Amino acid sequence: MLRLAFGLTILFVAFAPIQQALAAKTPAIRISVRNHVPRCVTPARLMAFVTRRNRMLDRRFSNIAAYYKHHGDALGVRWDYAFFQMLIETNYLKYRTPRGRMGDVHPRQNNFAGLGATGGGEPGEKFPDVGTGVLAHLQHVLMYSGTRIQTPVANRTRLVQDWLLPWSQSFDRPVTFTDLTRRWSPSDKGYSNDIAITARRFFDQYCRAPGSDDVDSTASIKLREIAKPMCRVWTARYENGRKALLIRSNEARVINYTALAVETGRETAQANAFISLYARGGRPIAEFGSYEQALNKAFELCPKG
């Protein structure tokens, strides 16, 4: 694992007491009734937060926050803090050190957590697309909570979970992101603080306080409009689905886009069955060779989804 933003630790040395307080407040990895992603954290706001700090953001990453939400919700992970960790790992998706030098991991690898990048020029793993790379990161984070990943995307997850799980399962409380950083990068004492400070910056700008469910009362009119659910992205899959359809349907002024994985040769029948049960009045608007392509199109049509 190679962190690209190692310079941040130096920048905050003078504020060590504040860092310690922030680090103590990093949440548990797993979502629970008392530990959920605040409503004020949305993909659109996270991307606004990123683009203010990376004006040259690669267009391929324009919807990456939506993937964190999608996969994070499915896995039951605090995907907002995983997203903040990703920003530290990639230096806000620049993949460069603060001095402008390229790190070991290249943006084309879709590796958002330095998985397998162990230093010395080792580039780590490569994933076929952004969504798969996000899933690999979140599965790896989930593993640190004490959950065995049955079919891990990342080879790194498969290799380390047998020796890491006894550590994470020894806790008599939920494993936090601070606990994670102490094993993820034990030589970097400021790693947890960097994540906490990044979270604080976001929450201060877009929420009333860290953990708050309320929108900041000083938020701009544009942000209030973004918060309105004018469209939503859903996913559904038939067990042996290889191809995918994009289903569009309307519900109370909200447009729903569903990436539906279907079996080859049964596309029409399965689409009709799905629409009759879950998307009344909907219709397929496009067909794709893969589920990932359909989901990418859904996020293109509904970037706030």
pLDDT in tens, 265-277: 999 988 988 888 8
Give me the domain span that covers residue 266: 229-301
With a threshold of 0.75, does the pTM exceed it? no
Which run of H or E residues covers position 247?
strand 243-251
In a domain, 65, yes or no: yes
- Are residue 164 and residue 243 in the same domain, yes or no? no
Query: What region, left, alpha or beta, does residue 234 occupy, with left being phi > 0 and alpha being psi -120 to 50 degrees?
Result: beta
Q: With a cut of 50, which residues of the chain have pLDDT below it?
A: 1-24, 209-228
Structural domain tally of the chain? 2
- Are residue 87 and residue 179 in the same domain, yes or no? yes
In a domain, 274, yes or no: yes
- Are residue 234 and residue 196 in the same domain, yes or no? no
- Are residue 46 and residue 190 in the same domain, yes or no? yes
pLDDT the model gives residue 208: 65
Question: CA 269 from chain center: how many Å?
Answer: 33
- Are residue 169 and residue 293 in the same domain, yes or no? no
* Residue 96, beta-bridge partner list: 102
Residue with tokens 């790992």: 89
CA distance 80 to 71: 11
pLDDT the model gives residue 251: 78
CA distance 272 to 266: 10
- Are residue 40 and residue 163 in the same domain, yes or no? yes
In a domain, 194, yes or no: yes
pLDDT the model gives residue 10: 25
- Tokens encoding 54: 């990376």
pLDDT the model gives residue 69: 95
CA distance 82 to 74: 14
Which of 150, 175, 206 terminates a domain? The answer is 206
pLDDT the model gives residue 126: 95
- Are residue 135 and residue 260 in the same domain, yes or no? no
- Are residue 16 and residue 151 in the same domain, yes or no? yes
Residues in CB range of 101: below 8 A, 6 or more apart = none
Residues in CB range of 232: below 8 A, 6 or more apart = 254, 255, 256, 257, 302, 305
CB 60 within 8 A of CB 127: no
- Tokens encoding 170: 């020894």
- Are residue 70 and residue 133 in the same domain, yes or no? yes
Which of 153, 171, 206 terminates a domain? The answer is 206
In a domain, 223, yes or no: no
What number of other Cβ atoms are within 10 A of residue 129's Cβ? 16
CA distance 150 to 145: 14
In a domain, 2, yes or no: no
In a domain, 214, yes or no: no
What number of other Cβ atoms are within 10 A of residue 73's Cβ? 12
- Are residue 146 and residue 236 in the same domain, yes or no? no
In a domain, 213, yes or no: no
- Are residue 187 and residue 284 in the same domain, yes or no? no
- Reduce the DSSP state of residue 239 to 3 states and report it: coil
In a domain, 224, yes or no: no
DSSP state of 255: E
